[in-house]
Amino acid sequence: MTEIPITPSGQVNPVTLRVSENGESATGSFYEHIGGRPTFEKLVRAFYDGIRTDPVLLPMYPEQPDLEGAIQRLTGFLEQYWGGPGTYSEQRGHPRLRMRHQPFRVNPDARDRWLLHMRSAVDGLGLSPLDDATLWAYLDRAAHAMVNTFEE
């Protein structure tokens, strides 16, 4: 006999999203679903490996060449955004991404370079197509939103 799932409010929930046909439930946060902090650290460190060789983007990071501060900030931000610990806001306040990026000339070239390095980092995670698309859609939107000048 098949058991019909019941929601916490007592309603019948006949649909259960699963990670594969007979796999575990796909509940929980995206953060947990794709592997938590180790996945986000891998993503961000691979991203900054690309930044280290980029003549346009590297000068935007004042702590270069170490970049550890930037690595920890981006990792914390992404963890929090995707449902992990709220450490980023506890330590730095509201993200205010546009305000934090305002001192830098983020033109379409800088955006595209950022996306190039991030695409390479995301590819290195080996996520499922749906998880990849979910993560990439956000990163692409965020990169476009950071453009603050169209001057070269």
For the whole model, what pTM was predicted?
Answer: 0.79
User: What is the domain class of 30-145 according to CATH?
Assistant: mainly alpha
Identify whether the C-beta of residue 25 lies closer than 8 Å to the C-beta of residue 16: yes
Domain boundaries along the sequence of the chain: 30-145
Q: Which residues, 6+ apart, have CB-to-CB distance to 90 below 8 Å? A: none
State the average pLDDT over residues 117-146: 97
Q: Write out 10-71 in H/E/C secondary structure.
A: CCECCCCCECCCCCCECCCCHHHHCCCHHHHHHHHHHHHHHHCCCCCCHHHCCCCCCCHHHH
% the chain with pLDDT above 70: 81
pLDDT class of 98 with cuts at 50, 70, 90: confident
Residues 121 and 96: beta-carbon distance below 8 Å: no
Place 17 in a pLDDT band, splitting at 50, 70 and 90: low
Q: pLDDT band at 10, cuts 50/70/90?
A: low
Give the mean pLDDT of 3-15: 51
The answer on pLDDT for 92 being more than 50 is: yes
Candidate from 9-13, 98-102, 108-112 with smallest mean pLDDT: 9-13
DSSP 9: T
The contacts of residue 83 (CB under 8 Å, 6+ apart) are: 28, 29, 30, 31, 32
* DSSP code at position 84: S
